[in-house]
Each structure stands twice: as structure tokens, then as C-alpha cells.
Amino acid sequence: MSQDYQSSGNLLENDPDDLNQAIFGEKLSRRQLCKFFSRGKTCYKGSNCRFLHQRKTDYHSEQTDVAVILENWPPAPEEDMPVIISVLSAESPFHFWAHILPQNTNPAEIEYNTVVSDPLADLTRKMTSHYRLRGYKESRYYPAIGEIVAVKSKEGQGSFRRARITETDDVGERKCQVFHLDHGTFEVVPESDLRVMETDFIEELPFQAHEMFLADLKPTYLVNDAEGDSLLLSETEREENKARAEAVYAYFTEFVKDKWLVAKVVETSHEGALHVHLWDCSDKELMFLNKKLVEHGFASENYRLPQQLDTNCESLAVSIPG
């Protein structure tokens, strides 16, 4: 009994409901966060680190609920399955994000505004109303890479969107880069425009921006310079490569602009990205984008491309009246 009386656990300030105190023997506020792990980076000391491995977004002074990483992606289409898509944004003609139209939905109904409800627009209105009415007490927000947040978007004219934090360094003081999960675009925003994501807003609607790649193609120019390959080019070659990249991007933009397209899923990556053949069925003469890029010299075939689309466009209801 004397040992219990003299124990360090026999203190008035002990809180039996504090999980951190139960695990670590001290309250969270007394244990310093690991500066690497707390910012979404890797701590190479692992379990041997004497600092607390907890993201800064795992707790808030107002004791609000936090959804750090909670996914809600729709089931990926099966391989060889044709789906109707609308391109949202593109990093290059070979890598883009698109909205997949739900099955049994006729694009013509959307064209003529006969669809009763737009689920994404409804969700955006709910989120914007919720976060504006709730108000916001200015406090330091510590974003973690990979966290899903509600963000007040200038791109969305001040409406609130669902987004994932992709970068917290090298984008400006108290700023971070986010990826808009329903629109397929990146944006640099102030930390003050971030809000803790309510779980209900994640669960209400699957994320709408699907990552896609054009299948069976290899670009005939340098698409990006992530590995510094452009340093091997002469100044003249770099200028020619830049002009070629701009030309193919302009061609792709014109091909997909204001159109519903048929994407034939060839493969699905482990990360969920779709590798597709892309067809324009808006005219009687079907246009196969993958093949067109080869014909214009913008790409070469990795594998032999099909000569025709083995799906009846009319059965997909993709012919939109002009």
C-alpha cells in the first residue's frame, strides 16, 4: 500500500480518461511532437524516437473531430468496360482527370438541363453553407500531407470544396498545396482557408475526379522533366520540345473540350488510376484520340491499338444533339 501511495500515478493532476497519459505516462501537452512525423514526413528513428509520433492535425484545441485520411472512391470500372467521361483537367494529354458519368445517365439530359439534381453542386452548397454559418475562430492550422480537408477555394469563387493536402513546404509561408478531389485541379491556398473536414461530407458522395492515362502510348517528346532529362538536350532541342508539348496539349484540349467521350478501360493500376482508350462519339465519324496522337507524330504505339470501337455508342447514349 505504501508503494501505491508513493507512486507517481497517485497525483491529483492525473487524468484516467487521457489516452496519451495512459500510454506515455504524461499528458500530450507535456510531450513534444516529433518535428518530422508531425509534418507528414518520415522519422527514421521510428519507434526509438523520444518525441511523440502524432500528426499536428490529429488534435485541435477546440477538441473538434478530425478526418485525417478517409477515402470514398467509387468502384473502379472493370477492364474492357466502356464508360462515359468528361475531362476535368490535364497535366498532359497522356495524364488527366475526368468525371465518370453514372451508368444509365443520358448526357443529353445534362446538356438540356433536364437532370433534376446535380449531387456535387448540392454537396458544395451544403459545405459552403455549413462552414460559413459555423464561423471560424482564427487559430494556427497544421496541415499534414495526405489529410482530407474542406478548403475555401478561389478557383471555386469562394465555395468550399473537398481536397487533399499534397504539399506543405516550398509553397509559401503558412500556405499549402491541395488537390481538389472532385475537380482534378491543384491550388495553393492559405492555411487560414482550411477547415476540418466533416465525415458526413466525405461519405455523402464518392470523389468525382478519376485519374486517367492514355493506354498503349509512348510520347515522342519529353513530357515532364522530373528527372532532369532536359539537361541532356541542347537549347535548340529544348525549345523544339517545348513547342511540341504546347502543340499536342492544344490538340488534346480541342479534342476533349465540352464533350462527353467514351473511355474504354484497358487496365487499372494498383493506385486506382485508369489506363484508357479515348473515343469521341459526338459525330458519325468516330475519332480515336490514342490513334490520332500517333498519326500526328505526338506518340508511338507501345502495343497495337484497335482499329475500331467494339461498342455501340448509341447503346451508351453518348450522342449529344448539337
For the stretch 89-145, pLDDT in tens is 999 999 999 999 887 666 655 555 544 468 899 999 999 999 887 665 545 567 788
User: What's the pLDDT score for residue 148?
Assistant: 92
Q: Is residue 93 a contact partner of residue 293, using CB atoms and an 8 Å limit? A: yes
Give mean pLDDT, residues 193-199.
89
pLDDT tens for 285-302 read 789 999 999 999 999 998
State how far the Cα of 247 lies from the Cα of 216, in Å rounded to an integer: 21
Cα atoms in the 13 Å half-sphere on the side-chain side of 36 = 9
The percentage of residues in the chain with a pLDDT greater than 90, rounded to a whole number, is 37
Residue 72 pLDDT exceeds 70: yes
Phi, psi of 240 (to 5 degrees): -65, -40
Give mean pLDDT, residues 211-240.
81
State how far the Cα of 64 lies from the Cα of 70, in Å rounded to an integer: 16
Q: Is residue 305 a contact partner of residue 294, using CB atoms and an 8 Å limit? A: yes
Return the H-helix or E-strand segment holding 256: helix 235-256
Of 11-25, 223-237, 260-274, which one has max mean pLDDT? 260-274
| pLDDT band, residue 82 (cuts 50/70/90) | confident
Name which of 257, 223, 281, 280 is nearest 93 in CA terms: 223
Higher pLDDT, 239 or 59: 239
| pLDDT band, residue 320 (cuts 50/70/90) | very low
Q: Which residues make beta-bridge pairs with 99?
A: 86
Residue 186 pLDDT exceeds 70: yes
Q: Is residue 127 a contact partner of residue 136, using CB atoms and an 8 Å limit? A: no
Average pLDDT, the chain: 76
Give mean pLDDT, residues 163-167.
92
Residue with cell 541532356: 232
State how far the Cα of 266 lies from the Cα of 86, in Å rounded to an integer: 18
CA angle 197, 202, 203 (to 5 degrees): 140
Give mean pLDDT, residues 73-90.
87
